[in-house]
Structures are given as C-alpha cells and as structure tokens.
Structure 1
Amino acid sequence: MLSLGHNDIMLGCHASDWQGALDQAATALGDAGLVTSGYRDGLYAREAQSSTFLGNAIAIPHGTPESREHVKQTGVRVLQFPAGIEWHDGNRVHVLVTIAAQSDEHLDILRQLTHVLDREGVAEKLAAADSQAAVASLLSKVPVEARLDADTLCLKFPARDPLELALAGAARLRQAGCVDAAFVAAIADQTPVGLGKGLWFTSSATGVVTPSLSLATPEAPIAHSQGPVQGVFCLAAQGDAHRNLLERLSALLDSGGGEALFEADVATVLARLAGESASARTVRARVLNAHGLHARPAKLLVQAARQQALPIKVRLLEGGGEAVSAASLTKVIGLGARRGQVLVFSAEGDAADEALAAVATAVSEGLGEKVLPFEEGRDHTASIAPQAVLEPLPADTPHAAVAASPGLAIGPAFVLRTPRFDYPERADDGVHEKRRLEQAIREGIAQLESLVHSAPGGEVSEILSMHEEMLDDPELHQAAREGIGEGMSAEAAWWQAIDTAARAQEMLADRLLAERAADLRDVGRRVLGLLCGIELPTPPDHPYILVMDDVGPSDVARLDTQKVRGLLTARGGATAHSAILARALGIPAVVGAGERVLGLDNGIELILDGERGRVVPAPSRERRQRAELRLKERERLERDAFAARFEEGRTRDGHRVEVAANLGNTAHTADAVERGAEGVGLLRTEFIFMAHAEAPDLDTQVAEYRQAIEALDGRPLVARTLDVGGDKPLPYWPVPQEDNPFLGLRGIRLALTQPDVLETQLRALLTAATGKPLRIMLPMVKDIAEFRQAKAIHDRLLEEIPETERATDVQLGVMIEVPSCALLAPSLAEEVDFFSIGTNDLTQYTLAIDRGHPELSAQADGLHPAVLRLIQMTVDAAHARGKWVGVCGELASDAQAVPVLVGLGVDELSVSARQVPMVKARLREFDLAEAQHQARLALAQATSEAVRDALEAL
C-alpha cells in the first residue's frame, strides 16, 4: 500500500491554471525517478475521462491503466498550491496528491483521504500549512470508528437481571476481540443505568482494544425494582470514537424506536442503530466493481441518487455503520465498499420503491464499469471456472513446486476438480431450510465418525476428529441460522458462515494456522455437497497420481493407498494438513504447484518427486526409464533400510552420527523407537499448550513428558521449550498485533516475558526425566543474553529440586534458527551444552524467503551455500569447545544434504520417524572423507541450484 512521507510533500507551489499544476506534478514524479516523461500524457488522459477532484480542495491526479508502462516505481508526491488553482471542473484546488502506481494502489490512497473530505476547515488549513509535517498530519489522521456488527450483539440471552445482561454483552465484545478481561471485570463492578423504555446502559474505558458497542437482550422481559429490562447496551469507550454511535442511539431513543429493539433480530437492530427508521423501505445491492466503490463508480452512484425525488441513505450490510446520504460523494466513498459487499439503500415516501429500484439497478449494472457477476456461495478458492483456459505444462520438463512428502511416484494423473455448487441464494420457508441444514450437518458428522473409525490412525484420526468438532461448532450453526433468518437458502447461509470463518483464519499472521482454513472449507464442502446432492467423481480402478487444487484431510483419509501413488496440488504448503497427512501415510506429495496443474488431462503420465519437489508431465521414454530404475532402487533401499533400522547410525567407515526423531506429540515416541530412532532430537512441546484452554499446570506437563521419556527407555530426549508467539498464538496468551510476527515476540523472547510459565515447563521436564538423559533446547535465541536469562531459571531449579527427584544427566542448549546466533556461535559455545540447527527457519531468515510463500517457497533451499556457511560456523565453534551439534530441520532427511551435513561435522540428524531407517541407510553409503569432499564442493558454489547440480554430477 502507498504511504505518505514528509519528503514526498512539496510546499509553496504556484501555477496559473490546472494544466500548469498537472505539468508540475508530472515533473515531480519524474524528478523522483518514479515515472518516465510519457506518464504526463496518462495524467491528462485520466482528467479527460473524469475529474480527479475529491473535495475539500484536494485532487488526486493519476494515470490511466495504459500509462502504467511509464511507471518505474510506485510512489506519491503531494504539491501544495497556497493561492489555489481553478480545476477544470470548476472546483478550487489547494493540494494535488499525485500518484504513480504500478497496479491499483491509488485506491488505497483514496480510501485514506476520504475521511478528510468532510472535515470543516481542512481546505483552509491545507492552503495555510507552512510545513511538510502539517500537511502530512492533515492528510493522514484517520479517525477511529467504534465497532457495531452482528458479532457484537447478544440477543435473546437467558438472563435474570441487568448486570447479567451487561456481562453477556461484555463477554461478546471480548469474544469479538474488542476488549480484554479487564474490561469485563470493570463492567462487573458497575450497576447498569436505566435509559427508560426498558433499555439500560453501562460502559468502561478499561481494557478496550477497539471501541465498540454491544446490545444484550433477554429471552423474556425482566422485572426489576427500577423498571423493566428489555436490553442493556455495553459500551467499550475510547476517546471520542464512539460519539457517532451514541448520537444515533440517543436519536433512536428520542424517537421512541428503542422499544422495538427487544423483539428485533440482528438485521433490524443494526438497521435501527444505523439510523434507518422502522417506516423506511429498503433494498439491497451487491457491489460488483472489481475495485469497489472508488471515485468513478461512486460518482455515478451519487448522480443516480440525486436524480431521485426523495433522499436516499446507504450503508454497508456488513457492520453497524451509519446510514449516510447516497447523494454525498465523500460519504459514499467513505464507506470503503469492496467487491462482493452488500449495500443497503433506504428511503421513505410514496415513491421510495421506485427510487430504490433505480439506484439498485445502477449498482447491478456496474456504475459505468464492466463488471462480472458475483457467484454467491461458491468456493472461488477451490474451483476453476469452466471457461478458464490454463496454459498446459510443457511435456518432459521438470516443474518445480514444494516438496511435501518424500518418495518417487510414476503413474497416470487423475485430476479431481472441485465441483461447482449451484443453488438458489434465497428461500421463502426458513423453517424448512433450517431443518435441511440440521439434517445435512448430522449426516456430515456421521460420515466423519465413520471415517475416523476406518482411518489408519495417528494424525489422520486426530485431524478428522478435529473436523468433527469443527462441524459441531455452535457458532457456525448460529451464523448459518441467522443467514436463513434473513431469507437466505440453507446452502447460501451455510457457505457464508464457512467462508467468513475461513477468511478470518486466512488473515492470521501464523502461516500454519492460516493454512488450516483449508480444513474449515473441507468441512464446509462436505455439508454443502450433502445439501446439493453432489458427490465427487469416482477415481479410476488402476493406480494413479491424484491432482487437486488442495487436498483436504477427509480426502486423504478416503485415499486408497494401494492405488494412490502420489499427490499433486495446486495450492498448499509443506505445513498444510494435506502435506502432514501425506507424510503420515507415506504417500509422495508435491504441493503448491500452481493452477496450471489443474489443466492436466486425465490419464497423462506423471513423474512426481516428493523429495525434490518436482513433477514431470508426459516424460520421454528415456526419462521414464531412469525414473523407473530410481523407483525400483528406492523400493529395495527402503526394504533393506527397515530391516537394518536398529543398527547405529554410522558412515561406511564407521564414523558415528546419531539419528533421532522429530516429534510433535509424545504419543508417537514408541513408534519412533520402533522405527529405529536413537532418541528424540526435537520434541515440539507447544502441542501440550495448544491442546488446553489455559496454560497446562505442572502435573499435566510432567505426565506428558514422562510418556515420551519412558518410551525412550534410556535414549536421550531433546525437548524444545514453548515456541509460540505472534506467528503461532495461544488463545490464553495474547500477543500484540505485529506487522511481521516472524520477526517479533515469539520463542524464547515471548517465554521470558512470563518467566513463571517457562519455569513451570523447565521444572516439569526436569521432574519427568528423573534418572534419564534430558536435553533442553531454547528456540529463537539471538545472542548470549537471552540464553543467560533462561539458564538462570534452569540453574536455580537444579539447586531447588533434590537430585533424587530430577534429571541429573541434563544439558541446556539452543536452536540455531536466527543468523545472528550462528554468527555469534563462538561466544555461545562457551556457555551452552549443545546446538541444534533448525534449518527450516535458518533458511528462510538467511534468504529472506518465507518457506510457505506460494511462489518463492521452492527457492527456500537449505543447501544454499549461505546457509551451509552458517552451519559450518556453528559446527566449528561448537567442536572447538567440545560441544555437539544436531540438525533438526527438513534438510536432515534430504538425501543430497546428508553427506554434506556429515562432512561439515554435524553429530546428530533428527528427522521424521518414518525417515529414520532411510537416513541411517544413506549414512552407510559414503565414508567421512567423501562427505568432507562433498561439503567443500557445496561451499564453493554460488547458488543452491549449483550445489545440487555439483552433487548430482559426482
């Protein structure tokens, strides 16, 4: 999004006419290196189409889409004309906000400026401003609006007195994220005040995150000594942001309309508090414009409203904002309506229906722009329009994507395209629709229960059980019922509830949690399919490689592993549930390959490489033969590796390298040991914290850790302390919103803000490992200072707990995930007991590539020489002090990387339990001298591609 800085503002400009001002604006953009000279013509062409005057003496000149070829860099320049300019539409302009945008970023500037347009005196202040800071302040100060929407209302609550209703309203605000527990406590200490007519009021400014208003109404009127109770308003106050809301509430009470709120539904409550009267006629219209109601379509809407014989108001259906005049350009633009949002128009009078129909028709026709229909209720993220033409992947050419589950597969493609769900948007019989929805939900739950019983266990069963809980979520049910109550069909109401919840999930900063939105959509499609009577296409009887947009967990659970040789998806990342389940089932998988894979023909032969993250369509005979040889060799290696899984990890010449398992759950420890793991090299302890509604106590943690320690039977356990934060939030440990949570308060940084939580975890680990080897690892350490803070707690506990009641063979180390930690390894090695290198995060931080990025993730390769040099520095520093080094990232199971890591001196490789036998087998294929040669060769390369090419050539 474009932003405005002081250096972007030019004061004291002069021009005799608007053309001269526009020429100066074009020159300013050119002098800043933002555009070439041709952009000037684009500015004039835009003015010829429509004036860019906004109001309050502000114009925002910008080029046409055709002139974007002249934009070298996105930017903005503000020119102040104190004497003013007569614009070509007759308005007086004092400020030009001139934009060079390579896309439609000027719309963001427009939305930022709309709040300025109705403020009295702004034009005069802009003309008189004598500093860049003053102009920036006038243009940038966005007022905060109080929130009021369906999520802040609590209607028909079973309460017995006004305080109980007030607390219900406060709790709803907390659930909506508007307030914290301190606000609820403050409301509990107050007595609601009567407003008359059965309505009461309470408020507090304590613990307010977002100013907001809740209304809680009882199931039935409550008798009270000071009068009847039909509703309690609960206000989260912050500055004067709530003033407009209170003014509308006051007007509603003065008009006598407050009494009707007791029997009203959500839509009616929001309409009344938005300023719509009970006698007003209303009509809804969906915004179809690709970029929402920006200046041009907003102007045409305003013109349509002004042509009517009576005043028309408009508001957004989503939310409780004020109904504003549809004849005011600044008010209409200020709505910030985006494509797909619904506008509610209202008017009163004999000709109201005709007037409303006229403006609604103007909106549906696109307001002067070409528009596409909005396909309500359809899963746009999981389907491709039938008319979409996808460029085919070139034959016999490797296509890079994300390696999600190791293995090699050869077979014909079966492309499973998500079906289109066609259904009516509206329905007349709400009772019948609710019954249909309830029946579909019951059938969906029954299906999931059946899948859970027939699933192969482990993670598959756990995730399907989670799906069952999702489907039984009362909030989803309530949201769908409310939609039906507003006249929607069961299908439309259900998908609206699912889509809203999934989009909220996708907005989370934590990539792992955001990817789980696919689970929610998977659950939603199950019920939608039942409502629409749609079943997925039947797969072929012969073995195949399944190609989908994204594979949901229930899809994986239904897979016939005897026939599905591999998975290929257009979307998803290595941490998505589809990838996790593919690994659990041992199915090779490549994900995030892009939409083009959905254009593959059924039956086309594919070579799918789950280790390198590549797929080759229509391979040549020579390439296929090479792949078949690799596949046969791999199958033989897997058999031999499993047979020798209990042998120690050693190279061909006997050099010892311990092979351990990465675990996300203590319940899987016994399986890891059975697969030959020589210990646990990474136990992600956050699973315990995520499984509880509040921080698990000492006894709970001791029991969990002891389960793993006992299953290891004397083998070492490396447990990573709690690794959560802004990117992996816990509901009971709120973290302030961060622009970049991957670089924010997480890992050891967050743990040290609540040392009592860290102390409890350390005490639990020490207690659970009595008499057994324990290695404790601190995540996201950046330097020695953070390690020392945690070590002080650790050392104090060693003194407090009797030796007979705790682990005595205990080491305290750090994860090398942050480049600074690797660079400072010599100072750390003096005090830590060991290092474990998390190559996943180390790679993304070193290369500045989010490993979950849909376009860049394939480039986040741990064999990049920059990453390898950091590993080398870490190993050298550790060995100089007699300390050991492990690798617990995905690189540890990469067949090409294993000899390089051993050659760099790594002492331990920790991989997924399923990979343990193969990593041990890989170690037996080379000796230490060969490994050291490969390490030197890799370090001498310039890119990760060059590293892999050089290693393949050996």
Structure 2
Amino acid sequence: MPNNNKELILSAPLSGPVLTLANVPDAVFASGAMGDGIAIDPLNDTLYAPCAGEVIHVARSGHAVTLRADNGAELLLHLGLDTVELQGEGFSMLVKEGARVSNGQPLLRYDVDKVALRCKSLVSLLVITNGEHFQARPITLKGVKVGEPLLHVVAKTPAETQDEEQAVGIEVFGQVRIAHRGGLHARPAALIRQTAQGFKSRSQLHFQGKTASCDSVMGMMGLAITEQAEVHVSCRGSDAEAALHALLSTLSTALAEEAHAVAPAVKAQHRSAEAGVLHGVCAAPGLVAGPLVRLDGIQLPEDAGRHNVEEQRQQLNSALGHVRREIQLTLENAKARRHRDEEAIFSAHLALLEDPILLDAAHLAIDQGSAASHAWSRSIDVQCKVLQQLGSTLLAERANDLRDLRQRVLRVLLGEAWQFDVPAGAIVAAQELTPSELLQLCAQGVAGVCMVEGGATSHVAILARGKGLPCLVALGDALLVQTPGQSVVLDADGGRLELAPTAERLAQVQQEQRRRATQHAQQEALAHTSAHTRDGVNIEVAANVASRSDAAQALASGADGVGLLRTEFLFVDRHTAPDEEEQRQAYQAVLDAMGDKPVIIRTIDVGGDKQLDYLPLPAEANPVLGLRGIRLAQLRPELLDQQLRALLQTRPLQRCRILLPMVTEVDELLHIRQRLDTLASELGLSERPQLGVMIEVPAAALLAEQLAEHADFLSIGTNDLSQYTLAMDRDHAGLAARVDALHPALLRLIAQTCAGAAKHGRWVGVCGALACDPLATPVLIGLGVRELSVSPPQIAEIKARVRQLDTVKCACLSAELLNLGSAAAVRRACHQHWPLG
C-alpha cells in the first residue's frame, strides 16, 4: 500500500483565478460528490501534472486524466465542464495510461476558442477521488500561474493502521435498483450512511460515472439518483461482504411511510382568479379561522471581519453540539411516542448535521476570515442550490431540511429565542416552514399554517398530517404581502385561504368545526356496533393491517375483522426467510389480537420491485408486470408450501382465511387449492380454511364467475386494478392524480366481479384505497360489495356512512354511473346523489 501519511504539495496545473469547489457552476462537482479539491478558470491552453505520479486513467474524449501520486492520492484533472460531450474535438492528450509523469509535465492541450464556444464553462477541476484517505487544504485562493503551490494534501484521520485494515480487506461489488420514492433524498441517504457506519469497510455508491462515499449524506444526494435507478455499490475492508449485503438491502427497501406517500410536490401556482382568495395545495386537511401571523427567517448582520479563526471554529462546534443534543432529545421523544415519521425526519437531520461536506465548507470559510454564523449559513445555502439544480422536485424540497439546520444553528450562534412570538389559535404564514419550526408551532397551539412554497410530500407536510394541523402550501408570493393580524379562513380541504371573510363566514366556520367534532364523537361511539344499511343489509367493515399491533388497534377501533393482513412484514428487512414456526406464531398472534373476529391473510406478495435478499431474482424492466404474487410462488413453490403449512396450524382454523394475490386464471387457483388439501392431509387435518382470490388484474375481474366457482370469496385490490386497467403507474409523479379507481372502466370491472361471484353465492370485498373513500362507499355497495377493508382510524367514519344508505337506491344509481365518461364525472355524480357530511 502507498504511504499515504506522506504529505504532498500539488502545484497549479493551469494558470488563472482559483475557485473553491462550492463556487463551481456544476452541481455534481460543487456538491463534493466527486471528491474534495480545487478549481481554476484557465487562461492558458495546456494542462500540466501537479506532481509526479502514474497515469491511471485517460478519458476517451480527451478532456480528463487521472494520476496516482506517489503517496497514493488519486487526482482527477478535468478540463472544463460538460466537455465530455465534445467527444474529443479540440483536445490533444499527450500521455497514455500507465505512463510515469514528472511534476510539471504537459498532460493535454486544447483549442481554447473551439472548446470555450461549445462547453458550459472552461472552469477546470483538480479533485482527490479517494478522499476517504486524504484531505486537501488550499494554499491560495487567488490567481495562480502554472507550477505555483496550490494544494496541501495530507492523510486523513483515523490513523494509518485503520486505513490499512480497510484497504487490505477484499473489495466486493453489487448492483441494486433504488426502491425509495423520489430517489436518494435526505432520509434514505441518512439511513444508508447509518448502515455503512455499522461496518469497518469503506463503502461507496457509483452512478452514471460519479462516485460518492456512503459516509456523506450530501455526497450521496449530490449523485441525483432517481427512483428505480440502477446503482452500483462497492465495499472494501475486513467486513466488506456483510457491509455490501446490508447496503443492498437498505437501498432496495423503501421507507415505511413511502408506501403511503401522497401526491408529488408542486411549485406555487395560480388558479383562476377569485377576489379575496389565495389558492394552494392541501398538505394536511382541515378548516380553521384565526388571525394571520407572519414568520420571517433569521437575517444575518453584516460580517465585520477580522475574526479569530480558532474562536469562530469553537463557536460553531459549540453551536453544532447544542443543536445535536436538541435533535437527539426530539428523536428520543419521538421514539418513546412511536412517532415513526418524526423519528425518520430527525434521524436524517442528525446525519446532515455531521455531514463532512457541510462541515468542511463551513470550516474552510472560517479559515478564510468569515464569522461562524456567516460560514455556516453560506455552507447551507450552497448545498441548497446544489439540490435545487439537480432537476428533482423531491430533492429540491429536501433543501428545506438543510434550511432547518441553518436556522437552528444560527439561533444558537446569534442568541435568538427559540420560542416564536405567536399566539395560540393563529394561522401562521411563512415562505417555507422547517420541521422543527412546525413542531414548535404545534406546541404553541397554532390553528393552522400556510406557506408560499413547499409541497405535499415535504417533511413539514408529513408532520402536519400526523399532528392534525391544517396546512396549505404553494400559495405564492401574494401570501407574504397580507396585513398581519387580519382574520382569515384556512380551508385546507378546498385548497383556499380566504383573506377577507365576513362575520357570517367566520360564524359558519365555527359552526362547521363544532359539527365535525360532534359528528366524530358520535361516529366513535357507534364504532363497535355492526354497520347495517337503512334497508337492513349488513356490510362488514374490516381493517387492513400488517402486524399484531396493527390488529390490536383495529379491534380497538371497532373492526369487524381483518380484511387484509399483508404477510410481507415477516419476509423483508432480513437475510434469511422466516421458518415455519416463526410464521405460525406471527399469524397466530394476529388471530389472537382480533378476539373472535375473522382474519384474511394474504400469501406473500413480493418479487418484481419488492426484492428479498435471500431470493435473488433477475432485474425486470417492468417490475409490476413481472414475477409478483402467485407467479413467484409458482417459481419457488417451497416458499408458499411453508407459508401454507404455518397457516394451517393456526387456531381456530375457521377464523383464518387465506387470500391469493395476482391470480389471472382458474388453473392457478385450482393448483393452490390442491396443494392446500395435500398439506392439510399431511398434517392430519379434516378442516380447511376458506380460500379467496384477489381481483387486482383485469383478467381476474373478467373471469370472476369462473374463479368464484372454486374460491370461497373474492377481494378486490383497487390500487393495482386501477393501474393495470388504466395503464398508468400509480407511483408516477405526473400520472398519480389520474389513477382514480372511480373511473367508469374500473366500476364496470367491479360490477362484473360482483355479478360473477353472486352466481355462485360468494361474497366480494374491497381492500384497496377505494374502500377508504367515503364518497365511493355507496357506489361499492350498489355494485354488490359486502365487505370494506380500511385503515383502522377510518372504521368509525365508514360504518357511519354505511348506515346512511339504502342498497336498492345505491344499486340503481350505481348502474347509471357505469355509463359516464370519466372519473371526474363519476365523482360529480356521487357528490350530487350522496353528499358528504
């Protein structure tokens, strides 16, 4: 191994003004994703070697060359930005790979005029690509001439012995498809960092020719890795295999709350003008009135300069430590209250607070004479710009997490009070609130919040929904010119901020709030009684659950049973499959938690885009059309056999119902029924559990009559049925709002399913998102659905909705809806026939 303790002075490879990487007009280089280093805006036409070393890589397009210095530092010299697109035109490479070069030796020449006219910028980079071992300290930030001292390269801590332990270990590689919604933004990046830090090995992500250390959240975010992108992972060290396995699992497993993510973020937009009303996007529902109070961000005083560098470093480190302890306390409180969203958000904040890219930039600015406050603020601002330039709306939103840290640290440095001067019951207006600010405002009892910017997927939106705080975002700049203290109405449900409500309107809002509170209390009081329509038809309202604790909550909320137990919770986030006994205990625990209520347990539905570490499957171009559900069971029958044996050993067996996902033809059902009979006989059982089929592909809906002949019940999964019928990915940012299960085509498939089941006396349930929509309840009942499975908090509301309906009237009106031309038309008709509230 090279002696990387040997210090190295790099000379200027070009002549011209010197820039820090943070000021380079390129998001990837400025973010530090490629490594630490320096930049020069060149005035000459030749690139020279900054030190003696070996040429280890020459770009085919002739615009870049990489050297390995004698101390082991690997130096990328990159001439210009976006010059790879010139495909070598205007460049003449003067060295070859493997060649030994001396300090000051010419490496490449270029045609200044030709290249300058065709590339983004001539600004050129000198970057240490193996920066995990080395640190670059600028010697000058002024103009240089070729050969003048430019960078001081020293070995990084930890000590050489630790570096050697990592480097002498094996290096392993893996490839994975990113599962996180929106790609690698702050929270998944923080989780990856946390995973990597649990091992001694050095781990890196590689994407589209760029590399980032798994130690740096900002570096990973700077790669701009999109959802479902293929990423390469490398790990080198004594525990490289284990590290790689853990990282691949983390990268391929979406965060829990992403499964319930709402519509994508949007920029401020203006809808049709309406006097006295600002229109925005609902981030958290509700209707409130109160005085409008504006919150402004911290404004820094002028930096007087002439600071003691060591004092400023100490002030920043002290402030960072103070904020770190604050966040840690918030994190512990969130864990104690089992608030998973808060826990995930502030874990990411803690990781960002320790990010080397942010800290190094701030310390460099202090070394150059800035006050700690200005250095920290500038470091954050640069990274926010990086995220906003990466072309991802979600990543741009995550810049708000960085601004949160900016505010918190500045409050400590400047001594500003943490408490806001906001009265209880106020409606807060701000450019964009941060997560910690929202929690503080909640604690002070504000009635609602509204913002100029922001989006419905932001961390603030997630927290607001969890706190039940009405929140409106993307209202535009007009919000901040409103008179402070004026009474306003925040109608988040309707996406409206009413600026000049009359006394009559304010009284109406108060009355509506009282009505909603009373209605909610009445619904909860009847949650544990059966839901019968006005003409006496019983509709079971069950719960969708994923664990024993979910089931306990469902029973406490009044569920008539479990309409869908997703068994994937047993199989993911682990390195080996659960054995038969572990599965039996888990299923039995759910049955026990539900008292005497029935429990429908869906067999494993993984594959495609939901990969298991211990079940390697080929990557698929269209995962939702690939090896999913019952198709995977056909490929690996031992997995399903083990699960069926575990289910057959639960007691009492008559309360256990088995549901098969992704069935498309009768033979699949007959095969599983035969396996179930065989396994039951092997166990000496005479009793058989009910066996049902999920209707989630159009083929199953069209064959419902044939399937119902051999199934005990049918359960419609409207989420998948919608996207397969409409040919629209329900996770696609631009199409998600159009994937509406009230589309007439979907309703026709539901009607055909119910009609086919009725011919064999089978009942039909709905366990998809449509069951949770009160507007859809009368339509589903009218089409013949007799069981609705919803999230536990919605049980009381849906039961109350059922009790308002007459099945005969629902059937007549629902039949008419099948002839409408769009989901929007169906929704309008539903509001007219069965108004909510």
Normalised by the size of structure 1, how large is the TM-score? 0.53
CA distance in 2, matches of 1:809, 1:503: 59
What CA RMSD, in Å, does the superposition of the two structures yield over aligned residues? Answer: 5.8
**Contact residue 886 and residue 906 of structure 1 kept, 8 A:** yes
CA distance in 2, matches of 1:436, 1:743: 56
Choose from 403, 410, 416 the match for 1:532: 410
In the alignment, structure 1 residue 946 sits paired with structure 2 residue 825 = yes
**Contact residue 413 and residue 544 of structure 1 kept, 8 A:** yes
CA distance in 2, matches of 1:654, 1:742: 40
Match of 1:920 in 2: 799
**Contact residue 721 and residue 777 of structure 1 kept, 8 A:** yes
SS at match of 2:527: coil
In the alignment, structure 1 residue 608 sits paired with structure 2 residue 491 = yes
Match of 2:721 in 1: 842
In the alignment, structure 1 residue 881 sits paired with structure 2 residue 763 = no
**Contact residue 487 and residue 500 of structure 2 kept, 8 A:** no
CA distance in 1, matches of 2:615, 2:307: 45
For residues 195-241 of structure 1, give each alpha carbon's deviation from its aligned partner in whole angstroms, at most 9, with x where no partner exists. Answer: xxxx99xxxxxxxxxxxx9xxxxxxxxxxxxxxxxxxx9xxxxxxxx
Percentage of pairs with the same residue: 31
Residue 754 of structure 1 and its aligned partner are, at CA, apart by: 4.5
SS at match of 2:531: coil
CA distance in 2, matches of 1:499, 1:750: 44
Residue 673 of structure 1 and its aligned partner are, at CA, apart by: 1.4
Match of 1:260 in 2: 71
Match of 1:833 in 2: 712
**Contact residue 519 and residue 552 of structure 1 kept, 8 A:** no
Residue 659 of structure 1 and its aligned partner are, at CA, apart by: 0.7
For residues 1-39 of structure 1, give each alpha carbon's deviation from its aligned partner in whole angstroms, at most 9, with x where no partner exists. Answer: xxxxxxxxxxxxxxxxxxxxxxxxxxxxxxxxxxxxxxx
Match of 1:5 in 2: none
Choose from 837, 857, 862 the match for 2:741: 862
For residues 48-103 of structure 1, give each alpha carbon's deviation from its aligned partner in whole angstroms, at most 9, with x where no partner exists. Answer: xxxxxxxxxxxxxxxxxxxxxxxxxxxxxxxxxxxxxxxxxxxxxxxxxxxxxxxx
In the alignment, structure 1 residue 678 sits paired with structure 2 residue 560 = yes
CA distance in 2, matches of 1:734, 1:427: 60
For residues 430-450 of structure 1, give each alpha carbon's deviation from its aligned partner in whole angstroms, at most 9, with x where no partner exists. Answer: 998987776566544533443
**Contact residue 888 and residue 911 of structure 1 kept, 8 A:** yes
Match of 1:893 in 2: 772
Within 5 A, what are the aligned runs for 1:552-701? 557-558=439-440, 560=442, 563-565=445-447, 572=455, 582=464, 584-587=466-469, 601=482, 605-608=488-491, 610=493, 614-615=495-496, 617-618=498-499, 630-692=512-574, 695-701=577-583
Alpha-carbon spacing, 1:467–1:624, altered in 2? closer, same or farther (3 Å) = closer
Alpha-carbon spacing, 1:864–1:756, altered in 2? closer, same or farther (3 Å) = same
Within 5 A, what are the aligned runs for 1:427-826? 442-452=321-331, 454=333, 460=339, 462-471=340-349, 477=355, 524-533=402-411, 538=420, 540-544=422-426, 557-558=439-440, 560=442, 563-565=445-447, 572=455, 582=464, 584-587=466-469, 601=482, 605-608=488-491, 610=493, 614-615=495-496, 617-618=498-499, 630-692=512-574, 695-725=577-607, 727-728=609-610, 739-749=621-631, 753-768=635-650, 771=653, 773-784=655-666, 787=669, 794-803=676-685, 810-826=689-705
CA distance in 1, matches of 2:695, 2:359: 50
CA distance in 2, matches of 1:750, 1:549: 49
Alpha-carbon spacing, 1:758–1:330, altered in 2? closer, same or farther (3 Å) = farther
Match of 2:238 in 1: none
Match of 1:6 in 2: none
**Contact residue 320 and residue 409 of structure 2 kept, 8 A:** no
Alpha-carbon spacing, 1:389–1:473, altered in 2? closer, same or farther (3 Å) = closer
Residue 641 of structure 1 and its aligned partner are, at CA, apart by: 1.0
Alpha-carbon spacing, 1:638–1:784, altered in 2? closer, same or farther (3 Å) = same
Higher relative contact order (CA 8 A, sep 6+): 2
Within 5 A, what are the aligned runs for 1:131-150? none
CA distance in 1, matches of 2:667, 2:295: 53
Residue 776 of structure 1 and its aligned partner are, at CA, apart by: 3.1
Match of 1:904 in 2: 783
**Contact residue 839 and residue 887 of structure 1 kept, 8 A:** yes
SS at match of 1:940: coil
Question: What code does the residue aligned with 2:602 have?
Answer: R
CA distance in 1, matches of 2:511, 2:283: 22
CA distance in 2, matches of 1:549, 1:814: 50
Within 5 A, what are the aligned runs for 1:364-443? 391=270, 394-395=273-274, 408-410=287-289, 442-443=321-322
For residues 128-179 of structure 1, give each alpha carbon's deviation from its aligned partner in whole angstroms, at most 9, with x where no partner exists. Answer: xxxxxxxxxxxxxxxxxxxxx998999xxxxxxxxxxxxxxxxxxxxxxxxx
Alpha-carbon spacing, 1:541–1:647, altered in 2? closer, same or farther (3 Å) = same
Question: What code does the residue aligned with 1:395 have?
Answer: E
For residues 668-717 of structure 1, give each alpha carbon's deviation from its aligned partner in whole angstroms, at most 9, with x where no partner exists. Answer: 32222122111122333334444546555555544444433221112122
Within 5 A, what are the aligned runs for 1:80-479? 259-261=70-72, 264=73, 269=74, 271=75, 274=76, 325-327=109-111, 343-344=125-126, 353-354=144-145, 391=270, 394-395=273-274, 408-410=287-289, 442-452=321-331, 454=333, 460=339, 462-471=340-349, 477=355
Structure 2: runs of 5 or more not aligned: 1-30, 37-52, 97-105, 129-141, 149-217, 225-266, 367-374
CA distance in 2, matches of 1:502, 1:786: 49
Match of 2:197 in 1: none
**Contact residue 659 and residue 691 of structure 2 kept, 8 A:** yes
For residues 867-922 of structure 1, give each alpha carbon's deviation from its aligned partner in whole angstroms, at most 9, with x where no partner exists. Answer: 21121112112222222222223322322211111111111111221111111111
Match of 1:24 in 2: none
CA distance in 2, matches of 1:600, 1:791: 67
Normalised by the size of structure 2, how large is the TM-score? 0.60
CA distance in 2, matches of 1:883, 1:754: 30
**Contact residue 63 and residue 84 of structure 2 kept, 8 A:** no
Alpha-carbon spacing, 1:860–1:499, altered in 2? closer, same or farther (3 Å) = same
SS at match of 1:662: strand
SS at match of 1:719: strand
SS at match of 1:672: helix
**Contact residue 283 and residue 456 of structure 2 kept, 8 A:** yes
Question: What code does the residue aligned with 1:953 have?
Answer: Q
CA distance in 1, matches of 2:382, 2:59: 29
For residues 792-831 of structure 1, give each alpha carbon's deviation from its aligned partner in whole angstroms, at most 9, with x where no partner exists. Answer: 6655543444549xxx563333333333332332333233
**Contact residue 345 and residue 356 of structure 1 kept, 8 A:** no
For residues 288-330 of structure 1, give each alpha carbon's deviation from its aligned partner in whole angstroms, at most 9, with x where no partner exists. Answer: xxxx6698xx79x999x99xxx9999xxxxxxxx986543899
For residues 550-599 of structure 1, give each alpha carbon's deviation from its aligned partner in whole angstroms, at most 9, with x where no partner exists. Answer: 8776566555389455566765557x7666655554455677x6767966
Residue 946 of structure 1 and its aligned partner are, at CA, apart by: 2.3
For residues 178-207 of structure 1, give each alpha carbon's deviation from its aligned partner in whole angstroms, at most 9, with x where no partner exists. Answer: xxxxxxxxxxxxxxxxxxxxx99xxxxxxx
For residues 250-295 of structure 1, give each alpha carbon's deviation from its aligned partner in whole angstroms, at most 9, with x where no partner exists. Answer: 996xxxx65310xx4xxxx2x1xx469xxxxxxx98x6xxxx6698
SS at match of 1:931: helix
For residues 734-758 of structure 1, give each alpha carbon's deviation from its aligned partner in whole angstroms, at most 9, with x where no partner exists. Answer: 6655555444554554565554444
SS at match of 2:774: coil
**Contact residue 607 and residue 624 of structure 1 kept, 8 A:** no
**Contact residue 287 and residue 470 of structure 2 kept, 8 A:** yes
CA distance in 1, matches of 2:588, 2:621: 38
Question: What code does the residue aligned with 1:893 have?
Answer: C
